[in-house]
A and B are shown apart, each in its own frame.
Chain A
């Protein structure tokens, strides 16, 4: 997403603006604490991460049902509190939907966070290089980015996945090396502007190398907004992974992911529509929280951008 120029302030104009003595981060933290929506989104996201991490413990102690455990008598069970394992119903083999959602969350969240990490590493590196070096290097990188952007994202994922039939690990890698262009474009633009500033010239006059200037002087100035991009990126990846797994080209059963739980449920939706609802809600909730956190972080870090997207 591109950040446009300064806009008029919209919501939260009552929140005190920059205090003279505070640094960027403490200022941001100060504003964040007053942003109830972002706080709520963070709490929900951390809760989702926590229960996914605790899937083993919860499955054993609370639901008393392993994720691969079957019970054909309970096939297509409706959501019920008795037994607790069928809280969200059961699939065609009588497996517990709620337990499978917990384990699916593990896979979906892991893919989202790790692939975003790969994205950010490549995107920031390439963006810094293009924006700082300019000239021939920038031309080549820009050409490559335009090219990648001209292949519709899902088609690109489709050929990769169809050819390499990925495991969760290779899927992280594939998504990681395909979706960094937006981040690179953003960092490139920022670097372009920063490069003209006096402190960069100053660093160069005292003999700092290009690499040192990029890492020590440009990067710290770009870094804060990268957190915003990261939150949005993770959300986008979780959506892409779920779509791919739904198509049967992402995470494959028996490993549950939110996407392939949906894929499975869509075959039985006439009999058991509730199986379609819960994985979708989990994806929606997670991605929504990430986007809200991204929005909130951006507003907190750079109030001038408030109200843009």
Chain B
């Protein structure tokens, strides 16, 4: 197992090199002279002054050299200072990571808690109206623009009914550890973020369960005289769940990427919201840090997925 994890970690290195290369190139290919960023568009600079700034920021050197230098700093967590807040850009982003992870984890939990039973029930009641509803939901859940659903839910629950808050992680002035208050804040954004995944899981579980319950070993279990409940819970579900782990990859990507819009809709102080605000303000160090750190989050989640997959599926050779 350790060998497997080490090898998998090594695979992640070329990916991260690629991500850093793309991030770097985009920032350098952007129209406009990077010098303007530090001078805030001042027009009365002498050519000598501009040349001095170029030298100071290393912009006069060839691109590959600049990249190596940039990566050298990034590895130590130095993305430069935010042009807006005059603080370490990486630290600004890191401070937001727990909020984003909390939102994504809650959404993932909702997906499993709702999506898995929906799919299994639909498969067991194949052809019934429940099956029809779940199958329709499997498509509808993907087609809803999430940010729009967020707005609609805010209008219904926060503006009209006034039973849930519309923004933030915590009511100002409340105790940090007030779980109920946190729950009330997280439920709407987490549900909206979870929706596509719920649809995905219900679809997956339905086909997998249908596939599994036609297998010989399920017939054997029935023939042994086991109760229906035992057959489903112990024999069928365990095998139907393996592909759920495979689906995790795409779902994690959607969670991290989707949280960017959802955080904006619900004013959720996460990585996405900060990166977005930085992008609007052209605060490049923070944008670069946000993109790199969220990509690292994604790469790490892919890694975890593969490890879980290897643990769950005995057919995968480990080591």
Contacts and interface: CB of A to CB of B under 8 A. Distances in A.
Interface of A: 4, 7-8, 10, 143-144, 146-156, 158-164, 235, 239, 242-243, 246-249, 262, 266, 269-270, 273, 276-277, 279-280, 283-284, 287-288, 290-292, 295, 307-309
Given A235-B143, A246-B147, A291-B143, A7 B207 contact: yes
B17 to A, nearest CB: 8
Given A7-B210, A146-B15, A284-B144, A152 B298 contact: yes
A137 to B, nearest CB: 16
Contacts of A154: 257-258, 260-261, 272
Interface string B286-309: 010011001100110010000000
Contacts of B14: 143, 147
Contacts of B23: 151, 159
A295 B142 CA distance: 13
A280 B30 contact: no
Contact of B155 (A159, A239, A276): A276
A152 B151 contact: no
Q: Is the interface of B mostly helix, strand, loop or mixed?
A: helix
B261 A292 contact: no
B139 A288 contact: yes
A160 B26 contact: yes
Interface in B122-177: 126, 138-140, 142-149, 151-152, 154-155, 159
A150 B299 contact: yes
A149 B253 contact: yes
Q: Top 6 closest A-B pairs, CB basis?
A: A147-B18, A152-B257, A162-B279, A280-B148, A288-B143, A163-B30
Given A154-B272, A270-B159, 11 more contacts: A8-B214, A148-B22, A154-B261, A235-B143, A243-B261, A249-B280, A280-B151, A284-B143, A284-B148, A291-B139, A309-B204
A290 to B, nearest CB: 8
Contact of A158 (B207, B276, B302): B276
Contact of A283 (B31, B145, B257): B145
18 contacts: A7-B211, A146-B15, A151-B22, A152-B260, A152-B295, A154-B272, A158-B287, A159-B27, A159-B279, A160-B26, A162-B279, A162-B287, A242-B148, A243-B146, A249-B280, A280-B152, A291-B139, A309-B204
Nearest to A287: B143
A153 B257 CA distance: 6
Nearest to A309: B203
B36 interface: no
For A160, A163, A290, the residue with the greatest tally of chain B CB atoms inside 10 Å of its CB is A163
B275 interface: yes
B279 A147 contact: no
Nearest to A143: B14
B294 A155 contact: yes
